[in-house]
Amino acid sequence: MPQLSVWYFRTAILFLIAGICVGLYMSITHQFEATGAHAHINLLGWVTMAIFGIYYALNPVQAASRIAKIQYMLYTIGILVMAPALFLMLTGNPALEPVVAVSSLVTFAGVLLFAVILFTRKG
């Protein structure tokens, strides 16, 4: 398996652990304000990252490209900042909204770069 896929799966499992921790926290405390953070950590962090990892495992030539590594960095940094900022914003820190806004745009840039990779592949 390409190294990039390994990194995608390693990062994804850490996000799943974090997402489940937020879910358990909400279940135990009966406070559900963080539902949006929980859903995004699990779906952007675990599900989507695992799909990226599978794609690169099936396309090892692309996994070795510089643009694929940049795509991983962009997407991962976006969610790494967005996840805790969204959690804190939803649990009573509205001042973090600009951080959530910028990091979500970085995450989106990572998604757009993945679209470029998909549409420019040869073969």
Report if residue 47 touches ligand HEM, rule: CB under 6 A: yes
Answer for the pair 49, 92: CB distance below 8 angstroms, yes or no. no
Choose, by CB under 6 A, the member of 1, 17, 43, 73 that binds ligand HEM. 43
CB of 42 to ligand HEM, least distance (A): 3
92, containing H or E segment = none
94: left (phi over 0), alpha (psi -120 to 50) or beta: alpha
CB atoms within 10 A of CB 118: 11
- Give the residue with the Cβ less far from ligand HEM, 41 or 68: 41
Show the beta-strand stretches assigned E in 27-85. Answer: none
Report if residue 31 touches ligand HEM, rule: CB under 6 A: no
Report if residue 48 touches ligand HEM, rule: CB under 6 A: no
Q: Which residues bind ligand HEM (CB under 6 A)?
A: 20, 23-24, 26-27, 32, 35, 38-39, 42-43, 46-47
